[in-house]
Structure 1
Amino acid sequence: MPEQHTIPDTPLFDRAGSIRGYKINKMAMALGQPQNREAFKTDEEAYLDRFGLTPEEKAAVMSRDWHEMVRLGGNLFFILKIAAVDPTPITQIGAAQASMSHDDFLYERLGKKRNG
């Protein structure tokens, strides 16, 4: 049996995670097509329903809870396509993944000056 590696508070994206997140990843990947981006912007809930997302997955996407989307099996590479539609700065997603405020993330991880 292979050794399993874990990092505290970090969801593991393995085969089980890939299977669990199939629908959310398929939905996000489809945003690569212009007509799907337009459908997402026009009626986000109807767009999500097309992919059969669970209520929990829909809530995570609609609230832009990046950490929860990953916990539910979302692959960050695909989920970033959602951010491109909004657009959401990648540093905000990094802050969410690190459970930090955006300002703290910019300061502590990127050495940027604090606002205010």
Structure 2
Amino acid sequence: MTEDRIPDTPLLDRARQLRGYRLNKMAMGLGDPANRAAFKADERAYLDRFGLSEEERRAVLARDWREMIRLGGNLFFILKISAVDPIRITEIGAHQAGMDHETFLRERLGKKG
């Protein structure tokens, strides 16, 4: 994997995309209602179906959005997890930016709290 050229910004290059294949396949599966139900019922068992590494499993279970992206997760696929446990897209954005939600809304989106 090449070193990221933009500080704190993991670039989705070919190497990272290949590394994230299992993670992305798991997340894409959440588009199916039966898979969402299985994920809700037993997240660990659902993750086992896809052979995720321990590092990937920890990131998903912790809902560590930045880490999932760093591990090769495609944001559009990873966001399917937010359909399982409703989280606002702005909360994910705040996590990605390393900010609390209110600061993110104020500083990045110009919203007044």
Q: TM-score, normalised by structure 2?
A: 0.94
Q: What is the CA–CA distance in structure 2 between the aligned matches of 1:33 and 1:84, rounded to whole Å?
A: 11
Matched, 1:32 2:31: yes
> Where do 4+ consecutive residues of structure 1 move more than 2 Å?
none
Q: Which protein shows a greater Rg? A: 1
How many residues in Structure 1 have an aligned counterpart in Structure 2? 111
Offset from partner CA, 1:38-97 (integer Å, 9 cap, x none): 000000000001000011101100110000000000000000000111111000111111
User: Partner residue of 2:20?
Assistant: 21
**Superposed, which structure 2 residues align to 1:64-75 within 5 Å?**
64-75=63-74
**Superposed, which structure 2 residues align to 1:1-116 within 5 Å?**
6-114=5-113
1:6 CA drift (Å): 2.4
Amino acid corresponding to residue 33 of structure 1 in structure 2: D
Query: Please, which runs of 5 or more residues in structure 2 have no aligned partner?
Result: none
Q: What is the CA–CA distance in structure 1 between the aligned matches of 2:97 and 2:11, rounded to whole Å?
A: 15
1:5 CA drift (Å): 7.7
Offset from partner CA, 1:12-52 (integer Å, 9 cap, x none): 10110110100000000000011100000000000001000
Q: What is the CA–CA distance in structure 2 between the aligned matches of 1:32 and 1:51, rounded to whole Å?
A: 15
Amino acid corresponding to residue 62 of structure 2 in structure 1: S
Seq. identity, %: 69
Q: What is the CA–CA distance in structure 2 between the aligned matches of 1:108 and 1:76, rounded to whole Å?
A: 22
Q: TM-score, normalised by structure 1?
A: 0.91
Query: Please, which runs of 5 or more residues in structure 1 have no aligned partner?
Result: none
